[in-house]
Amino acid sequence: MIYWLCWPLEYKNSWIAKYSSIYISKLKRDFDIKEFWMPFKANSLLRMIFQFVIIPIRLLFHRRTTKIFYDEGRLPILFYPIKNIIFIIHDIRDYALTAKKQSFLQKIYFKIIGISYKKLNKVYKIITPSAFTRDSLIDLWIDKEKIKVIPNVIDQSVYKPLTIDSHLMRRQLFDKYGIKQEDLNKRIILNIWSEEDRKNIITILKALTLLGNYLFIKIWNPIISSNRKKHLDFAKTNALDCVFIDTIFDDEDIVKFYNIADVFIFPSLFEWFGRPPIEAQACGCPVISTNNSWLKEVIWDSAFIIKNPLDEHELYQKINALMSDNSLYDTIVDKWYQNAKRFILDTNLIKWQRLLGK
């Protein structure tokens, strides 16, 4: 049996959790997998007790016969039995071990994190979704022979251009999510995921002040509620046409939003992979993204790149150029296939199957 330990249940439909859920659903055809999603809220005390005490005790009874997967947080590795563990690491952004100015508590925290990373060298294998994360782990004392890159994947039978009339899809989605009908004919700028500072939503809003007749649709929980308030206040002050949707009813609607959007903008300052741009490309929606090395690894030359993600004037110029040049638009859309096929499920599923011994 394979015991696959996942994120808190409340994040099961998040983009990062999709890495586990997609692979698990397919690997279950060949392997006996018991997936376990944390039953408590991410920030609750019960979650911490369960994660650091109950689960390690439970795993002691399976340590010799079960491969154990864990894909959230480094600290638990100090408490878990090492034998037969495959550890999935999406990113290391929260662990600035080389930060020059650290408080006393930060020094203790980073010391524990450092010990945790070193202990990772004893696990069976470490999986990362990107070469960027792999290289960052090697810089943090992880043996490169322990690390294998298995990318995020998309199901291209789901994420694809739809044959439904675009105007009909717009009307259906606008009705379903309470978007003003008078905006039906506006060009749509789409962004999906959180409103953490690193997602850089404010630059999109600043660019909108220069653009004019556009509708900005931002989908997903903000995670940081104070940032949502700032974004709403900015939109109201500048009379911008913006819609913020926290909850999407199903994946089919996500695909429809990708299909009706004129452009998907992802001006993130930091990503360990960046799944939404690939989903947008697979649905035939052109992508404007940043020049950061981790995103370039994912999108290659298949997106329109902004060099300075904090420059709203450059973003405005890129959007304007893309929307006014049909040949440029078609070129960007056409390039998605060559890029997105690197993330086909079956191709990468084989890597997991081999790792697990099939």
221/246 Cα distance (integer angstroms): 5
pLDDT in tens, 103-113: 787 777 777 77
CATH architecture of 166-343: 3-Layer(aba) Sandwich (3.40)
pLDDT in tens, 129-176: 888 889 888 887 788 999 999 998 888 888 999 999 999 999 999 999
Q: How is the beta sheet containing 2-8 ordered, strand by strand?
A: 33-38, 2-8, 67-70, 85-88, 125-128, 147-149
| Start-end of CATH 3.40.50.2000 domains in the chain | 2-150, 166-343
Confidence of residue 99 (pLDDT cuts 50, 70, 90): low
Q: Give counts: helices (H), strands (E), the chain.
A: 15, 12
Q: Phi, psi at residue 237, to the nearest 5°?
A: -60, -35
Whether the per-residue pLDDT at 206 is higher than 60: the answer is yes
Q: What is the pTM of this model?
A: 0.83
Asked if 18 contacts 279 with a C-beta cutoff of 8 angstroms, the reply is no
Average pLDDT on 16-31 reads: 89
Average pLDDT on 217-243 reads: 96
Q: Kindly state the helix (H) or strand (E) to which residue 3 belongs, with its residue range.
A: strand 2-8
Asked if 9 contacts 3 with a C-beta cutoff of 8 angstroms, the reply is no
Asked if 38 contacts 7 with a C-beta cutoff of 8 angstroms, the reply is yes
Amino acid, single-letter form, for residue 267: P
Supply the pLDDT for residue 76. 64
HSE-up of residue 249 (Cα within 13 Å, Cβ side): 6
Mean pLDDT check: name the lowest of 29-33, 155-159, 165-169, 268-272: 268-272
CATH architecture of 2-150: 3-Layer(aba) Sandwich (3.40)
Q: How is the beta sheet containing 287-290 ordered, strand by strand?
A: 242-245, 214-219, 187-192, 263-266, 287-290, 304-306
Place of tokens 């690939």: 278
- Nearest CA among 169, 103, 89 for reference residue 131: 89
pLDDT in tens, 296-342: 777 767 788 899 999 999 999 999 999 998 888 888 877 776 777 78
Whether the per-residue pLDDT at 62 is higher than 80: the answer is no
Supply the pLDDT for residue 205. 98
Q: Provide the token pair at 229.
A: 């308030």
111/222 Cα distance (integer angstroms): 31
Task: Give me the chain's average pLDDT, please.
Answer: 86
Mean pLDDT check: name the lowest of 111-120, 242-251, 270-279: 111-120
- Of residues 33 and 53, the one with the higher pLDDT is 33
